[in-house]
Structure 1
């Protein structure tokens, strides 16, 4: 146990909750104590929000840690980790705080436990400013499985809608690993499949789902003419609380790359506009000829940093979230990242290779 806590500036670069998630997870896994200051200093409501606090408490529980300074609005916290133990853990933001962001912080930690863990996560499943649960299951999960990560995700209740109170619930079962294997994703191949779901919940008419789907298909068709595009309109019945609408569209490539575009309905916004927004997001993410979309990019950094060996992932423009995750990963592990620009004759777009010599973190509890 390192007596000197690693000091992390919570206001650097992206300056948001991601710094907390990556720092706390790596503290738990490496056994290093951390002190995070100036948390979300540049945000309109600085300091910890309910979902950040819930995530930190969850990690602290998982690693039998000691967490200081953790309260709503707090800008300084410290975490001293203990032994990571498998178990049944429940985390409830009691708001529309994202369950996907809770999973993002807890999943890496649970991999280094002594047995399988059950995580019951409550909050928003389809919330603004966070991945939708559909994204986590359909895009994030199959790609992190390439590192050797295995988890199941059961959506018990969706919370959909305009600033819902939460009420969503996801049960995740995470299996431990001895060590993560590195991943190479540098060849995109051709897009072979495009599919998705456009949904309405609560009192909203089914026609909205059809309108979102039709508008999304029309938009993609302008650019990708040869593929059948299957976006199913759906009415969420028993397993949803709240009134709302949304859409997620997935594209798969011949080499196993997966991309997505998604959007949530808002009061006063036409359904076709929501469909077009998701379609344009997807198209933007497949135009650059990289192997991951802009949202997966930063979520893979922690796994690259922990894996044993060299990972190489080809992306479009490197996001500030990704640069922030790399900055924290290099502070808390022995991992070394390099980013190289690729000139591609086939495409006008510039891509980048993110390469990482992983730290080879071994699970001491297995």
Structure 2
């Protein structure tokens, strides 16, 4: 689909959940764009490429779905665990669209609304912030929930308070997993994602405060992170951006989580030796060196920072059998794998690692102008990135060319996107 082509039908846009990567990312981005633009969507065969019983909606997916449904006064169908289909019809919070349109359609209960609505905090009669909480009963990835709601938080104008000239900061606390297998960690959020958004996309700094770690390895634990978000002004359009010319490797940030000081020291020594062998002039920093609380919790993140301010991250939450392996062997295996992955990223010469590619797609689609991200030479876009581009094209009509450049929509904060599309809201 080429850029700027919009459907003119109020019928929900259908998205086949088995397309390309066929996992939860397709659902998250579709919900994010639907909430922001009030375009209704229908996702079928949700997570259809996940084997057997793990397909369909998980409780961790529902946390984001419920929050967005309540924040946008949406009506839904299929909003339950294991559901393989979801219909999501958002509206403005003032619109009287929470009346059920069908017997199977979900309308939020008062208890569910409390999970998603804002609480306004006052000091001496002046509102100082607007805050919300998103709970999960399992250590589902906090970053993946943030990924689903962040565009809405930034661009929906929810910081604007009627009758008040100033905008109020937003504070969102998400309870779930901070260190989860096959998901970005709180360290990755803080050291890669958030710095790139603020330093390269002109988005005000988002502050992540870790209250408690949530683990999927060892004894299952639920963690908590609060994100403080400065509002974007009404009608603000994200400037176009070009991620090119990565620059030279300047420093590497090393974050280590392990059960004992001896293990952390061993990992530190092995990583330091491998980094200096790779580049003797490299500056090495250790922002996190922390006890993990379990011998089954070993984690390492390496973040390469370049002279032009780009950050390339690779990590591993150790998820293999540890029986029969000495501490030194475990540390060697962890350090060598992450170092090998980082070297591979650096050889490509791109400005972002493979985990950041797909997270930038939504910002490319919303920005004003042609936005581009250099992912490196001889490197195809990841399947997650291709999936994100497909969703943005299907829902917004944003077009991506063969090298991943996107002619953004120039979406303005607080914009009534329905007027641009020429479609009145359902009532």
Asked whether 1:120 is paired with 2:190, we answer no
The answer to whether the Cα contact below 8 Å between 1:160 and 1:245 also exists between their aligned partners in 2 is: no
Aligned to 1:271: 331
The runs of 5 or more residues in structure 2 that have no matched partner are 1-7, 94-116, 119-129, 160-168, 417-427
Distance (Å, rounded) in 2 between the aligned partners of 1:330 and 1:181:
20
Aligned to 1:91: 134
Aligned to 1:171: 226
Higher relative contact order (CA 8 A, sep 6+): 2
Deviations 1:114-147 (A, max 9, x none): 3133211011101111111111111111112232
Distance 1:88 1:233, change over 3 A: closer
Aligned to 2:189: 136
Superposed, 1:130-279 pairs within 5 Å as 130-145=183-198, 146-150=200-204, 151-160=206-215, 162=217, 164-177=219-232, 178-200=236-258, 204-231=259-286, 234-236=289-291, 244-266=297-319, 267-268=321-322, 270-279=330-339
Task: Give the 3-state SS of the residue equivalent to 1:170 in structure 2.
Answer: strand
Deviations 1:247-278 (A, max 9, x none): 11111111111111111134506122112222
Distance (Å, rounded) in 1 between the aligned partners of 2:263 and 2:294:
17
TM-score, normalising length: structure 2: 0.77
TM-score, normalising length: structure 1: 0.89
Partner residue of 2:151 out of 90, 108, 129: 108
The answer to whether the Cα contact below 8 Å between 2:218 and 2:294 also exists between their aligned partners in 1 is: no
Question: Higher mean Cα deviation, 206-215 or 125-134?
Answer: 206-215
Aligned to 1:293: 353
Distance 1:218 1:49, change over 3 A: same
Distance (Å, rounded) in 2 between the aligned partners of 1:231 and 1:47:
40
Larger radius of gyration: 2
Distance 1:163 1:102, change over 3 A: farther
1:163 CA drift (Å)? 5.2
**Matched length:** 348
Distance 1:365 1:301, change over 3 A: closer
1:365 CA drift (Å)? 6.5
1:40 CA drift (Å)? 0.8
Asked whether 1:72 is paired with 2:87, we answer no
Aligned to 1:330: 393
The runs of 5 or more residues in structure 1 that have no matched partner are 341-353
